Amino acid sequence: MSDIRNPLVTTGSPNANASNRRGLSHYQKGRLLLGGQYAGLTLWLIVSLLPPVILLAAAFNETAMFRSPLALLTMSEFTLANFTTAFRAGDFWFYFRNSLIISVAAVIISVVVCVPMAYGLNKLRPRIRSGLSFAVLAMRFLPHVVLALPLFLIFVNIGLTGSRLGLLLAHLAIHIPFAVWMMVGFFENVPKEMEEAAIVDGCGPWKLFWTISLPVVRPGLNALAILVFIMSWNEYLFALFLAGSDAQPLTVGITRFMGGVEAGAQYGVIAAYASLIVLPVIFFALVANRYIVSGMTAGAVKG
């Protein structure tokens, strides 16, 4: 029989083949792009997790094991002596109490002072509000080391040098500008219709702030409290310059194991001490993560 083909059925037109080739090419490019993204994220995850893994491994190894990185990671000489030394010789609970008092006080004062200030700034005209907000935030642009010496000289003259109160005031000097700027953004998202309806119903300024605006910005308030606590907990420079022996926090207490000319640094104890410092922050961040995310998301979306 002769090979008869239906002219209406085309099995391999040039346009169709070119289209298939283009589709396959796009598919392959998409797969390669996706694979590159996964590879980049995996590399980023490894680089991010490597320092805390090394820190934790070092805390459970003897100091002599630091000459062998493989033995450090495999923890071939496991020990808890570093944590015992950190608690006993490092006065961990003394420094922990100072860090906790200063951080909690910084959170409370920042919230009490900055929330009404941000609410008042939000009621000004847009140009004036933008200018004042930038002026307040400009203090945050200064490096901490620039403020350390002037604050030290001021505290010497007023009798606050070496005290917890002086260190707390130094923390507030860097927290308040950030907190005010952050909360202004949240108050801008409060629907104007809600406030206007409350005013029509006879709501006064204080009641308007307390019952209408404040509940709306509560996610941002939670995020602010968490961020201020973490920043105060991790602060080191002001504690080194301004805190006396009775007010030093954990970030300064760890330096007693750094050693000197005669004695070498106790790296295992330092790793254990650092792990104990970071542990409350990690736990606090994991518990409060949803508040941080919801707060920052609420501040980025107009209501």
- Note the maximum CA span of the chain: 113
Q: Is residue 3 part of a domain?
A: no
Amino acid found at 235: E
Q: Say yes or no: 95 and 27 in one domain.
A: no
Domain count, the chain: 2
Q: Say yes or no: 88 and 49 in one domain.
A: no
Residue-level pLDDT at 102: 95
Residue 302 has pLDDT above 50, yes or no: no
Separation of alpha carbons 101 and 144, rounded Å: 21
Residue-level pLDDT at 19: 47
Average pLDDT, the chain: 80
Residue-level pLDDT at 261: 52
Residue 109 has pLDDT above 90, yes or no: yes
Q: Say yes or no: 27 and 117 in one domain.
A: no
Q: Is residue 59 part of a domain?
A: no
Report which listed range, 19-28, 148-157, 291-300, is most confident: 148-157
Helix axes 218-234, 92-122, angle to 10 degrees: 140
Lowest mean pLDDT among 115-119, 137-141, 180-184, 255-259: 137-141
Residue 64 has pLDDT above 70, yes or no: no
Region 66-83: mean pLDDT is 75
Q: Say yes or no: 110 and 30 in one domain.
A: no
Task: Answer with the residue of higher pLDDT: 4 or 274.
Answer: 274
pLDDT digits (tens, 9 = 90+) for 86-97: 888 888 999 999
Q: Say yes or no: 146 and 27 in one domain.
A: no
Confidence label for 281 from pLDDT (cuts 50, 70 and 90): confident
Residue-level pLDDT at 229: 92
pLDDT digits (tens, 9 = 90+) for 157-188: 998 888 999 999 999 988 998 898 888 888 88
- pTM for the whole thing? 0.78
**Domain extent for 112:** 82-300
Answer with the one of 32, 53, 74 that is the final residue of a domain: 53
Residue-level pLDDT at 1: 47
Q: Say yes or no: 105 and 199 in one domain.
A: yes
Q: Give me the sign of the Cα torsion angle 137, 143, 144, 145.
A: negative
Confidence label for 66 from pLDDT (cuts 50, 70 and 90): low
Task: Answer with the residue of higher pLDDT: 151 or 303.
Answer: 151
